[in-house]
Amino acid sequence: MSVCTLFVDGREVSAGAGETLLEVLRENGIDVPTLCNLEGLSAVGACRMCLVAVKGQGRLMPACTTRVWDHMEVTTHDERLDRYRRGVLELLFAERNHVCSVCVASGHCELQSLAAQLGMDHVRFDYLHPPLAVDASHPRFAIDHNRCILCTRCVRVCDEIEGAHTWDVAGRGVKAWVVTDLAEPWGESSTCTSCGKCVQVCPTGSLFVKGHAVGEMEKRTAFLPYLARRRKGTP
Amino acid sequence: MARRIEIDPVTRIEGHARITLELGDTGRVERARFHVDQFRAFEKLAVGRPFHEMPGIMARTCGICPVSHLIAGAKAGDALLAVEIPAAAVRLRRILHLAQILQSHALSFFYLSAPDLLLGMDADPAQRNVVGLYAAAPELVRGGIALRAFGQEIIARLAGKRIHPAWVVPGGVSSPMRAEARDFVLAGIPTALDTALRTLDDFKRQLESHQEEIRSFANFPSLFLATVGEHGALEHYDGPLRLVDATGEIVADGLDPAAYREYIAEQDEPDSYMKSPYYRPRGPSAGMYRVGPLARLNAADRCGTERADRELAEFRALQRGAQLSSFHYHYARLVEIVYALEQIDALARHPEALDPRVRAQAGPNRVEGVGVAEAPRGTLIHHYRIDANGIVTWANLIIATGHNGLAMNEGLLQVAKHFVDGDRLREGMLNRVEAVIRAFDPCLSCATHELGRMPLDVRLVDARGNVVDVLRRDGA
């Protein structure tokens, strides 16, 4: 494998050609916030939290879906990038109802932690708060569309790891939402294997195990890289 | 000529309210109304949410007594699960709830009402607050702050945080008590009990100087509603409801809390967002009842703890039958503080206090559940209906302060007739009008209360809208 050399925040870094920028940053202990990305799943560049500035490029690029090239010069943190990331978070918080104080995942939520980490303490935009339902028709799990940020981790884990492809995205733009099968109640899905992977990879309180009270839903994602390797037949 | 006095806002209460007094041609008060202008809509917020979230959501109703909402919400959840929760969980819920009774009563007495009681109803309003009280009686204030802090710290040690913990869940509590928490509780009881008993003794000595207030502060016959425990003992967590009348006789006993709608009717008021429930069999007038510390002491046969029982005997000796003056809410609150400390001590010493089995697991097994707890201010009712998947479809809450709505209005009229003379406004007389409301310790909306900064602007307006007299109290 050929090796290329990058300059990240002025620091010289080596990478294997074909690696994504995010992989290289993580390997070198350089922190970039992510939400939709999860090790073990394909990258989709949906959340825009990992946007970085690459010299010579006219636009910011998502680190998770950008392949590295030799002599790439990358800035991961500056005032503008941090402001944009906070802005992305503000838009996520403004779009649906993310009232942390009464959420099952409060204290264990990636969206909440990122907001705290990046200092997003106000939302400048009007909250949309569309009236969305909780689908609790599944015997063990429930989805609260109010907390969903459309990261599609559930869609990807169900398709790529479980192989069921129960989840998908329906609708467009602000009206997009994740659905089970052909937008049927989850409990009536004929493809769902009730494995619960979607629940574990969901970064917020949107997907949760029923019976959890406020702040009780902790997610476990450590199984995923291991499972992904096993699916590919590598140990 | 008819005139109208408005007290807006009422200070040193929890939440926001306004009082209007209507004066007749002779300048005497003819009508008095207590208005709660804020609208919260928790019953609507609950709809569409999973019932396991209810304790956590409903606790947000109040920053002073979130634990009572947690308990009532979780008990309604227990009813939906149709399970018997582990005995250790019941004990832990009781400790948590009594710790909240302790801190809430300490807040009401020391922070909100003691300035009136110790500095005097006519004291300079700039001084008539907890800061002014500290200058006059630092030991008392320090003791009060310590008592409240102790209650809050017990809540934090058990449930993770002082305000709005989410530890009480349908089926029990989310984690057992740790040995350090129990040791903290037991170590703090003796000092706290000492403070409580000393304050109670001081209060009893001063009763003589408050005779006029005792006579006129919502002092009238009414029914009293409270939960009672085994053998009629004072109870705050669970048990049947009992209704006693002004003579202390039992009107109804062993009432099933889940069937509250059979005997409690709720009426809306055109000028307030507060519901006014009454005892259904007797109608809105004769069915007026009071709840809270006074009602609990009037309804109970005994406290069931040594020192509190001694204090109850003295309290009972004040007057034959039930104690009718709402001024004695203060007295009852102090007795309940003593009771709470003794009871917490006993519960924490239970040999299985640290039992790890604290939660029953089940899915929804009923579609309707009622949870009732005795909040610091009285009987609190949470009632939910769910669909087959456990999503709330309907909710009804009766908040303790609501039960007292009719009595507070009646009490206002009594105190205003006694103290307010329409020809000239005096700050002290209007303070008594507010103080009768404070005696009930209403919790109107759980709005945060900014100490001593609330201005009071009272206008005496004649029937043509001309301002006859204005009294302004600036924020201290």
Per-residue model confidence as pLDDT tens digits over B321-359: 999 999 999 999 999 999 999 999 999 999 999 999 999
Q: Which residues in chain B have Cβ-Cβ distances shorter than 8 Å to A142?
A: 50, 389
| pLDDT given for residue B430 in this prediction | 77
Which stretches of chain B score pLDDT less than 50?
445-457, 474-476
Per the CB < 8 Å rule, is B56 touching A134? no
Evaluate if residue A235 carries a pLDDT over 70.
no
Q: Which residues in chain B have Cβ-Cβ distances shorter than 8 Å to A133?
A: 48
What is d(CA B121, CA B134) in angstroms, rounded to the nearest whole number? Answer: 16
Q: Which residues in chain A have Cβ-Cβ distances shorter than 8 Å to B164?
A: 101
| pLDDT given for residue B265 in this prediction | 93
Question: Does B452 map to a domain?
Answer: yes
| pLDDT given for residue B204 in this prediction | 96
Question: Does B455 map to a domain?
Answer: yes
| Residue of B49, B169, B170 with shortest CB distance to A134 | B49
Which residue in A has a C-alpha nearest to residue B53's C-alpha? A213
Question: Does B139 map to a domain?
Answer: no
| pLDDT given for residue B436 in this prediction | 83
Q: What percent of chain A has pLDDT over 70?
A: 99
Q: Domain residues for B440?
A: 3-39+409-473
Q: What band does A40 get if pLDDT is binned at 50, 70 and 90?
A: very high
| pLDDT given for residue B129 in this prediction | 87
| Residue of B50, B56, B174 with shortest CB distance to A136 | B50
| pLDDT given for residue B133 in this prediction | 92
Q: Per mean pLDDT, which range of A94-98, A228-232, B327-331, B358-362 is the poorest?
A: A228-232
Which residue in B has a C-alpha nearest to residue A104's C-alpha? B53
The architecture of the domain spanning A100-231 is 2-Layer Sandwich (3.30)
Mean pLDDT of A158-181: 96
Tens of pLDDT, residue by residue over B273-312, are: 777 889 999 998 899 999 999 999 999 999 999 999 999 9
Please tell me the total count of domains within chain B.
1
| Residue of B55, B60, B391 with shortest CB distance to A134 | B391
Partner A contacted by B239 (CB < 8 A)? no
| pLDDT given for residue B433 in this prediction | 80
CATH topology (fold) of A3-77? Ubiquitin-like (UB roll) (3.10.20)
* Secondary structure element (H or E) that encloses residue B343, with its range: helix B328-348
Q: In the A/B pair of chains, how many CB contacts fall below 8 A?
A: 51
| pLDDT given for residue B471 in this prediction | 60
Beta strands A73-75 and A3-8 are parallel
Per the CB < 8 Å rule, is B57 touching A136? no
| pLDDT given for residue B451 in this prediction | 29
Per the CB < 8 Å rule, is A101 touching B361? no
Per the CB < 8 Å rule, is B169 touching A101? no
Tens of pLDDT, residue by residue over A59-79, are: 999 999 999 999 999 999 999
| Residue of A133, A187, A213 with shortest CB distance to B53 | A213
Per the CB < 8 Å rule, is A210 touching B174? no
Q: What band does A2 get if pLDDT is binned at 50, 70 and 90?
A: confident
Q: Which residues in chain B have Cβ-Cβ distances shorter than 8 Å to A214?
A: 53, 55-57, 166
pTM of the model: 0.90
Those residues of chain A whose CB sits closer than 8 Å to some CB in chain B are 101-102, 104, 106, 133-134, 136-137, 139, 142, 144, 187, 210-216
What is d(CA A93, CA B379) in angstroms, rounded to the nearest whole number? Answer: 38
- 3-state SS record for chain B: CCEEEEEECCCCCECCCEEEEEECCCCCEEEEEEECCCCCCHHHHCCCCEHHHHHHHHHCCCCCCHHHHHHHHHHHHHHHHCCCCCHHHHHHHHHHHHHHHHHHHHHHHHHHHHHHHHHCCCCCCCCCCHHHHHHHCHHHHHHHHHHHHHHHHHHHHHHCCCCCCCCEECCEECCCCCHHHHHHHHHHHHHHHHHHHHHHHHHHHHHHHHHHHHHHCCCCCCEEEEEECHHHEECCCCCCEEEECCCCCEEEEEECHHHHHHHEEEEEECCEEEEEEEEHHHHHHHCCEECCHHHHHHHCCECCCHHHHHHHHHHHCCCCCCCCCCCHHHHHHHHHHHHHHHHHHHHHCCCCCCCCCCECCCCCCCCEEEEEEEECCEEEEEEEEECCCCEEEEEEEECHHHHCHHHHHHHHHHHHHHHCCCCCCCHHHHHHHHHHHHHHCCECCCCCCCCCCCCEEEEEEECCCCEEEEEEECCC
Per the CB < 8 Å rule, is A142 touching B50? yes
Ranges in chain A annotated CATH 3.10.20.740: 3-77
| pLDDT given for residue B449 in this prediction | 24
Partner A contacted by B56 (CB < 8 A)? yes
Per the CB < 8 Å rule, is A134 touching B55? no
Per the CB < 8 Å rule, is A137 touching B170? no
Per the CB < 8 Å rule, is B50 touching A187? no
Ranges in chain A annotated CATH 3.30.70.20: 100-231
| pLDDT given for residue B376 in this prediction | 95
Partner A contacted by B393 (CB < 8 A)? no
